[in-house]
């Protein structure tokens, strides 16, 4: 089997003002790794996906501490080397890969879907 958890790049590259969010995502990451070690003998793989912030989601204003205007979008976008925000399809494609037979020997990893922001 395969379990895939969704965390965030905030779990590996924390941002100011988001201590509890950052910590909760870090907990998802380490829990995923721990579960991989624990469930591996039962042939269950556990992995994690860390998407980068997307200002077009329903919770973006709460995450950003207020409305995400064009100036804020541009400032955050400048931190992503590939020059665009992640999309739901980017995250879904990573999940499809991790759940596939092509990833049969991959367990206990987190894939950053972040356009190299955390590189």
**Which residues does the annotation mark as catalytic?**
21
Quickly list DSSP for 62-75. HHHTS---HHHHHH
Any idea what DSSP says for residue 10? G
CA nearest to 12, candidates 35, 32, 41: 32
CA nearest to 24, candidates 10, 37, 13, 35: 10
Whole-angstrom Cα distance, residue 116 to residue 104?
25
């Amino acid at each position: 089997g395969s379990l895939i958890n969704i965390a965030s790049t905030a779990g590996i590259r924390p941002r100011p003002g988001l201590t509890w969010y950052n910590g909760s995502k870090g907990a998802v990451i380490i829990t995923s790794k721990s579960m991989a070690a624990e469930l591996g003998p039962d042939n269950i793989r556990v992995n994690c996906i860390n998407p980068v912030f997307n200002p077009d989601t329903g919770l973006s204003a709460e995450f950003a501490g207020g409305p995400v205007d064009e100036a804020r979008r541009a400032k955050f976008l400048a931190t992503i080397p590939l020059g665009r925000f992640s999309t739901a399809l980017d995250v879904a494609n990573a999940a499809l890969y991790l759940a596939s037979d092509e990833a049969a020997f991959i367990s206990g990893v987190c894939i950053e879907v972040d356009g190299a922001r955390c590189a």
